[in-house]
Structure 1
Amino acid sequence: MGNDEGWPAGLEARPIEKDDAAAWAELLAAKEKVDAEGENYNADDLLEELADPSLDAARDSIGVWSGEQMVAYGVVRAPDEVVDVHRVRTEGTVHPEWRGRGIGSVLVPWLNRRAAELHQERQPGAVGEINTGAIETNTSALDLLTGFGFERCRYFFSMERDLAKPVEVPPVPEGLRLVAFSPAYDETLRVAHNEVFMDHWGSSPKSPESWKTWFTGSRAFRPALAYLVMDGDEVVAYTLGYEYVADTEATGIREVYVGQVGTKRSHRGRGLAAVALAKVMAEAAADGFQRASLGVDAENPTGALGLYERLGYTTKNTWITHRLPLG
């Protein structure tokens, strides 16, 4: 790929490979020190991302290099299926010490072009758009996106809760059972998740392959911190917890990240999500976790924000998703 894309002099761009994971992790660590997004990655985390079967890293990723240092990166991802809009997601950053040199002004068009190509390859008949996000405090990133025609379309809150405060687990309604996750429930859980998130903005059904990659097959997934509410053999509510070792190493705080919380429409209004979530929090506290965190759509139609606030979560920061129509 070289420097035929207009990168500043002295820089080289090429797809990200497995051997680049350590340099990629160094770039993200430098970004976190300045942008304070609360996200940390080690090389193993990034190798797992490159192993995603739906990612063609040779075409959908780019690393920008100054010698042996990765000074910027970008990745493009597309969903398994389309519900309403084919939302192709892009991500990327420039090393803080290399900002202000025009790298982002080349990186964003590269990501946009690849996103458009991916849309045409996978879902040419669907309405398409690019989605990308930035924390609200990163004003330079927000200005860059606006300059390329992106518009704000959705707000998400990152929330956290100190587990030193007692966690009360509500009683399970009569006729239902609260059970710990086991692989025997995995496919039933995936189907339930797809149904639960059908009416959530930006969500699309997860295939068995992507479910294994990003959910219960993830290195960070903790089966002991995952609980399901059962109605007979049916999963009707659930909470899944994850632990990111790189976060603990960077912050010194052991945190359970609540990746998914949901209740089937047929069983909403009975407090089942609160039962499963509180149980996960209580088990995490008993196991020595110091904090719980999660992310929530500010306009979540199920009232999730209120649930989290009642359980003691407070907002740490706000992320803004931007959109750019395709075609």
Structure 2
Amino acid sequence: MLYVHIVDRSLEDRLARACSTILFRWAEAQAREVGAARGLDVQQIDTGAFEGDDRQHAWLSGAGFTKVRTWWQMSRPVRPEEASLVASAERWERKGVVFRQVRRVDGMPDEDDLRAVHEVLESAFTDHFNSAEESFEEFEHRLREDPGHRWDHWWIAEIVDGGGAPEPAGALVGTVSEGGPGPAGSYVSYLGVLESARGRGVATGLLNTIIADAAERGRDRVGLEVDADSPTGADGLYVAMGWRTKYVTQSWHKDVPVG
């Protein structure tokens, strides 16, 4: 269960601590309800903090949370001429791999495409930190609730050189990232490639696609989040393609018995 814990920094310490305590108690009650609805014995609460936020760290630790992961929040500038990185952000092909947006009919996405994205991401992240199976219905509902959600920011990579039907091999779910008075940016919410397709430039192709799409839309950046402890070395690809770390965040977890 994702949980955002924010207390106004203008409050004096005693009142801020009291607000924090009440919010944690409320979150645990919610965790028990959510866990019961899911039929779980234990419901995990997943929340976060910025690196260096000693006040938040102390509150989290005091409430029984444990720091479990560190994340690099990265950003890459986008130049207008990078709209030509790919032939078309809607569809292009390279070395037997087609990169395309999910199909849409009257503005709504094709359900088969959405299910293909879900299946690719579920398979690609099976061995990743804190991975948990999520139904298609939960996946779709959760992503549609994102304020930056746009159907035309979802892409599929398909292998087409096998002689048969196209085979989904990678997926990227992007969102719109607002950043104050300046232009909006694009954000990579999810990027997954099936193990069987790695080494074919699928991840690079999907990243070039969202960069080109951002440039075409007049945006000035593409952001993403990287697991600092991931053994895949994905950060090396991002750095090579121009991403740099802007700030660092942490994941803190607490397991709440549902009964």
* Fold conserved between structures, TM > 0.5: yes
Which position in structure 2 is the counterpart of 1:152? 67
What is the TM-score normalised by the length of structure 1? 0.64
Deviation at 1:91, TM superposition (A): 2.0
User: Is the 1:149–1:324 Cα contact (8 Å) retained in structure 2?
Assistant: yes
Task: Decide which of 38, 42, 53 is 1:122's aligned counterpart.
Answer: 38
Give the percent of matched residue pairs that are identical in Structure 1 and Structure 2.
Answer: 26
Which position in structure 1 is the counterpart of 2:249? 319
In structure 1, the gaps of 5 or more residues are: 1-76, 78-88
- How far apart, in 1, do the equivalents of 2:149 and 2:36 lie? 33
Deviation at 1:181, TM superposition (A): 2.1
Bigger relative contact order, structure 1 or 2 (CA pairs below 8 A, ≥6 apart): 2
Matches for 1:214-253 after TM superposition, within 5 Å: 214-215=142-143, 220-231=148-159, 232-244=165-177, 247-248=178-179, 250-253=180-183
Matches for 1:1-327 after TM superposition, within 5 Å: 77=1, 89-100=2-13, 101=15, 102-125=18-41, 128-164=43-79, 167=82, 168=85, 173-182=94-103, 183-184=109-110, 185-215=113-143, 220-231=148-159, 232-244=165-177, 247-248=178-179, 250-327=180-257
In structure 2, the gaps of 5 or more residues are: 104-108, 160-164
Amino acid at match of 1:111: A
Which position in structure 1 is the counterpart of 2:162? none
Amino acid at match of 1:146: S
Amino acid at match of 1:242: T
User: Is the 1:226–1:280 Cα contact (8 Å) retained in structure 2?
Assistant: no
Q: Does 263-272 or 91-100 show the bigger shift?
A: 91-100
What is the TM-score normalised by the length of structure 2? 0.79
Amino acid at match of 2:176: E
After superposition, the Cα gap between the structure-2 partners of 1:198 and 1:166, relative to the gap in structure 1 and judged at 3 Å, is farther
After superposition, the Cα gap between the structure-2 partners of 1:159 and 1:166, relative to the gap in structure 1 and judged at 3 Å, is farther
Q: Deviations over 1:168-199 (max 9, x none)?
A: 45995532222222123222222222112222
- How far apart, in 1, do the equivalents of 2:144 and 2:217 lie? 20
User: Is the 2:76–2:223 Cα contact (8 Å) retained in structure 1?
Assistant: yes
Which position in structure 2 is the counterpart of 1:19? none
Secondary structure of 1:198's aligned partner: coil
After superposition, the Cα gap between the structure-2 partners of 1:154 and 1:146, relative to the gap in structure 1 and judged at 3 Å, is same
- How far apart, in 2, do the equivalents of 1:216 and 1:91 lie? 18
Give the number of equivalent residue pairs: 236
- How far apart, in 2, do the equivalents of 1:201 and 1:118 lie? 22
